[in-house]
Chains A and B, each alone.
Chain A
Amino acid sequence: DTEVTQTPKHLVMGMTNKKSLKCEQHMGHRAMYWYKQKAKKPPELMFVYSYEKLSINESVPSRFSPECPNSSLLNLHLHALQPEDSALYLCASSQAPSGTDYTEAFFGQGTRLTVV
């Protein structure tokens, strides 16, 4: 089972709203990722959690706030977004590094976010 589940699939929010994106995996993976993807562009790394601790933040604006409540769940809290934040938000997970290797990352189906 290589399933990563993201909810919701689609989200429309106003610039003053607060919303959260959720991601869940039951593969025992201990590394989880958030990516943002605009049309015709590659996924752009936002955050990496390793063993439930934030290990990489790619200088993401504070209106995006990640949270990893346990080893299976990853949230992305959204507040005061701008229309240019509209994109596909992808969650991924992989086994945490053993030795020097990070293994394959598997992606969820994404949340299509529109900010109005």
Chain B
Amino acid sequence: QKEVEQNSGPLSVPEGAIASLNCTYSDRGSQSFFWYRQYSGKSPELIMSIYSNGDKEDGRFTAQLNKASQYVSLLIRDSQPSDSATYLCAVNIGNTGKLIFGQGTTLQVKP
């Protein structure tokens, strides 16, 4: 079992729709969870962090964490073509400093 798992996609949504991205992790001791966006040829850009169960909202982005189910998700509301990118889930495994990424989900927002 991989330490952090995501569906690679591509996930295609129309402009203005909600995009839902999911991630699961294997180590129950993990406490810190992050979503990064990566455009082709660029480095990962942090968009959300979440540490506690529940929802965390920042603008059009909402991160959701369920530690009992070992599940993290990212919702993007009112999706824009500029949101088209690869979204990487990252987990600090067992809170050791070992920051591991999932395979990434490619999001395509069609005008």
Which of A's residues lie within 8 Å of B, judged by CB? 31, 33, 41-45, 48, 50, 55-56, 88, 90, 92, 94, 97, 100-110
Contacts and interface: CB of A to CB of B under 8 A. Distances in A.
Contact of A101 (B32, B36, B104): B32
Interface stretch (B13-21, B73-81, B95-103): B95-103
A100 B95 CA distance: 7
A57 B30 CA distance: 19
B88 A100 contact: no
B60 interface: no
Interface in B83-111: 88, 90, 92, 95-104
Given A45-B100, A97-B95, A103 B43 contact: no
Interface of B: 31-32, 34, 36, 42-46, 49, 51, 88, 90, 92, 95-104
A95 B106 CA distance: 29
A50 B96 CA distance: 10
A48 B100 CA distance: 11
B42 to A, nearest CB: 7
Contacts of A101: 31-32, 51, 95
B43 A105 contact: no
Nearest to B46: A104
A104 B46 CA distance: 8
A43 B34 contact: no
Contact of B43 (A41, A55, A110): A110
B19 to A, nearest CB: 19
